[in-house]
């Protein structure tokens, strides 16, 4: 049969009720459900409906029911909830599924582990926040020619000028990198020697020292008898595990020459650098 108006409900709605146990002295009771005022419940004592409001039988707010006078211990007392206050309800543990979340709603700010950068996981770019950066990092070079480097003597390269040093961890006085953050670091360096036409080099090495001892090196060897090469750029690169407190690295040169040899200055020729690796 057709009708005009809103579609009626298909099911009956059951009202909630609560029974109280008065003791003759208590005027305050706790409701099972929060309400906005006394009119949201029908309070019945000894089968008589009580009138709500200030100065009358009772008031109610939230989960607090306050009687104007204490009901007797022999009284029968109950209420029926006519309306409930709107309130925020937390979902149960493990009850929220993926389909309940709005797309793109979870951001880095809501991730408990701040070392995870969602942006980098999605876009594939290197992360630049939340600690996921390749620092400490530095790059420095030799600004003035290092002259008279003795033959067969491991000589520390005078890397004295910084191009950048993110955490001030490179010491230009001692020519060493001592990072203050533990981790694995990619370290690289290079130098160029200039022996001149009359002072040719038989072989040359570039050595990376860690804590005063050789860690890695690169070697160039010519014809030892004919002494064939004069100028050459040697390089070294590797990954070094650093403890972030006392570990340091330095760059050394070692050559066999007829006499002293110069190390070429300039950022193109004699340089030293490194940076912390992410996820290593």
pLDDT per residue as tens digits for the range 161-174: 999 999 999 999 99
10 found inside a domain: no
Q: Is residue 131 part of a domain?
A: no
- What's the pTM? 0.53
> Of 81, 96, 118, which residue constitutes the final position of a domain?
81
Domain check: are 74 and 142 in the same one? no
Q: Is residue 243 part of a domain?
A: yes
153-164: pLDDT as tens digits: 888 999 999 999
Q: Which domain holds residue 145?
A: 137-276
Whether residues 55 and 164 share a domain: the answer is: no
What is the predicted pLDDT for the residue at 188? 95
pLDDT tens digit sequence for 189-238: 998 877 655 555 667 788 999 999 999 988 766 555 555 556 678 889 99
Residues 265 and 147 reside in one and the same domain: yes
Residue 8 lies in a domain: no
* Same-domain pairing of 171 and 240: yes
**Domain assignment of residue 93, yes or no:** no
Share of the chain above pLDDT 70, in %: 76
Averaged pLDDT for residues 179-185:
94
Report if residue 120 sits inside a domain: no
Q: According to the model, what pLDDT value does residue 18 have?
A: 95
Domain match, 147 and 270 both: yes
Looking at the structure of the chain, the number of domains it has is 2
Mean pLDDT calculated for residue range 249-258:
82
DSSP the chain: ---SSSPPPSS--PPPEEEE---SS--EEEEEEEESSGGGEEEEETTEEPPBSTTSSEEEEEEEEEESSPPPTT--EEEEES-------PPPTT---GGGSPTT---GGG-SSTT--HHHHHH-SPP-STT-S--SEEEEE--S-EEEEPTT--EE----EEEEETTS-EETTTTEE--SS-EEEEEEEEEEEE--TTS-EEEEEEEEEETTEEEEEEEEE--TTT--BSEEEEEEEEEEEE-SSS--EEEEEEEEESS-EEEPPSTTTSEEEEEEPS--
Q: Is the pLDDT of residue 57 over 90?
A: yes
The mean of the pLDDT values for the chain is 82
Residues 187 and 257 placed together within one structural domain of the fold: yes
pLDDT on residue 9: 52
């Amino acid at each position: 049969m057709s009708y005009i108006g809103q579609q009626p409900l298909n099911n009956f709605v059951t009202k909630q009720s609560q029974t109280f146990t008065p003791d003759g002295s208590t005027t305050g009771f706790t409701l099972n459900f929060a309400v906005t005022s006394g009119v949201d419940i029908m309070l019945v004592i000894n089968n008589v409906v009580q009138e709500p409001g200030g100065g009358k039988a009772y008031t109610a707010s939230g989960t607090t029911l306050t009687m104007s006078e204490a009901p007797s211990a022999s009284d029968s007392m109950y209420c029926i909830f006519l309306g409930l206050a709107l309130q925020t309800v937390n979902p149960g543990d493990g009850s929220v599924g993926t389909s309940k979340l709005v797309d793109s709603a979870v951001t880095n700010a809501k991730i408990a582990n701040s070392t995870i950068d969602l942006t980098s996981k999605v876009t594939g770019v290197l992360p630049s926040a939340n600690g996921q950066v390749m620092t400490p990092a530095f790059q420095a070079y030799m600004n003035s020619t290092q002259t008279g480097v003795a033959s067969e003597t491991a000589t520390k390269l005078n890397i004295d000028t910084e191009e950048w040093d993110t955490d001030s961890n490179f010491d230009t006085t001692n020519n060493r990198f001592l990072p203050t953050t533990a981790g694995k670091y990619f370290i690289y360096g290079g130098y160029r020697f200039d022996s001149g036409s009359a002072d040719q080099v038989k072989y040359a090495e570039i050595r990376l020292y860690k804590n005063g001892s050789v860690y890695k090196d690169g070697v160039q060897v010519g014809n030892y008898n004919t002494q064939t090469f004069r100028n050459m750029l040697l390089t070294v690169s590797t990954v070094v595990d650093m403890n972030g407190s006392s570990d340091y690295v330095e760059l050394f040169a070692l050559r066999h020459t007829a006499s002293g040899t110069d190390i070429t200055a300039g950022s193109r020729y004699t340089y030293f650098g490194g940076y912390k690796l992410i996820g290593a």
